A and B are shown apart, each in its own frame.
Chain A
Amino acid sequence: MSHRPKIAVWKQSSCDGCQLSLLDCEDELLAVLGAVDLAYFPEATSTEKKGPYDVSLVEGSITMPHDVERIKKIRAESKVLVTIGACATSGGIQALRNFRNHAEMMAIVYARPDYIQSLATSTPIADHVPVDYELRGCPISKEQLLEVLTALVNGRSPRLPRHPVCLECKIKGHVCVMVAHQTPCLGPVTHAGCGALCPGYSRGCYGCFGPSDDPKTSPLAKRFLAQGVPAEQVGRLFLTFNANAPPFKAEGLLHGGVESKSAPPTNGGK
Chain B
Amino acid sequence: MESHAPWQVGSKAILSVTGLGDLLGRLWAGGRQVVGPVVRDGAICLGPVRTIADLPKGLTDEHGPGTYRLKPRGDEALFGFTVGQHAFKRSILLPEVALVQLRRKGRDVEVEPATPKTQPLALLGVRACDAAALGIQDKVLCGGPYADSDYEARRADVLVIAVQCTNAASTCFCASMGTGPHLSNGFDLALTELLSPTHRFLVEVGSPAGATLANQLELTPVSEGDLSDAKTAEQAALTQMGRHLETAGLREKLQQNPDDSHWENVANRCLSCANCTMVCPTCFCTTMEDRTDLTGDIATRIRRYDSCFSEAFAYVHGGSVRPTVRARYRQWLTHKLSTWVDQFGSLGCVGCGRCITFCPVGIDITAEAKAVGAPARTG
Residues of A within 8 A of B43 (CB): 175-176, 180
Residues of A within 8 A of B372 (CB): none
Nearest CB in chain A: distance from B297 CB, A: 10
Q: Are A188 and B41 in contact (CB under 8 A)?
A: no
Interface size class of A (residues with CB under 8 A): 35 or more
> Chain B, 253-286, contact with A by CB distance < 8 Å: what is the 0/1 string?
0000000000000001111111100110000000
Residues of A within 8 A of B278 (CB): 166-167, 170-171
Query: Which of A34, A153, A178, A213 has its CB near the most chain B CB atoms (within 10 A)?
Result: A178
Residues of B within 8 A of A161 (CB): 310, 312
Q: Is B69 an interface residue (CB 8 A)?
A: yes
Q: Is B95 an interface residue (CB 8 A)?
A: yes
Assess A171 versus B275: contact at CB under 8 Å? Given A35-B295, A176-B360, A180-B69: no
Residues of B within 8 A of A174 (CB): 41
Nearest CB in chain A: distance from B272 CB, A: 6
Q: Are A180 and B68 in contact (CB under 8 A)?
A: yes
Q: Is B187 an interface residue (CB 8 A)?
A: no
Q: Are A162 and B304 in contact (CB under 8 A)?
A: no
Q: Are A175 and B45 in contact (CB under 8 A)?
A: yes
Q: Is B311 an interface residue (CB 8 A)?
A: yes
Q: Are A189 and B305 in contact (CB under 8 A)?
A: no
> Chain A, 19-52, contact with B by CB distance < 8 Å: what is the 0/1 string?
0000000001001101100000000000000000
Q: Are B358 and A176 in contact (CB under 8 A)?
A: yes
Q: Is A142 an interface residue (CB 8 A)?
A: no
Query: Which of A151, A163, A213 has its CB near the most chain B CB atoms (within 10 A)?
Result: A163
Nearest CB in chain A: distance from B344 CB, A: 23
> Chain B, 286-320, contact with A by CB distance < 8 Å: what is the 0/1 string?
00011111111000000011110011100000000
Specify which of B67, B270, B310, B357 is in contact with A216 (CB 8 Å cutoff): B270
Chain B residues with CB under 8 Å of chain A are 40-43, 45, 66-69, 85-86, 90, 95-96, 268-275, 278-279, 289-296, 304-307, 310-312, 325, 357-362
Q: A34-B294, A180-B69 are in contact. List 14 more A-B contacts (CB 8 A).
A: A35-B295, A146-B294, A154-B292, A156-B292, A164-B272, A166-B274, A167-B310, A171-B305, A175-B42, A176-B43, A176-B358, A178-B66, A179-B68, A179-B85
**29 A-B pairs in the complex with CB atoms less than 8 angstroms apart:** A31-B293, A31-B295, A35-B295, A150-B292, A156-B292, A163-B312, A164-B272, A166-B274, A166-B360, A167-B278, A167-B307, A170-B275, A171-B95, A171-B96, A173-B45, A173-B95, A175-B42, A176-B358, A176-B360, A178-B360, A179-B67, A179-B358, A180-B41, A180-B85, A188-B275, A189-B273, A202-B41, A213-B311, A219-B268
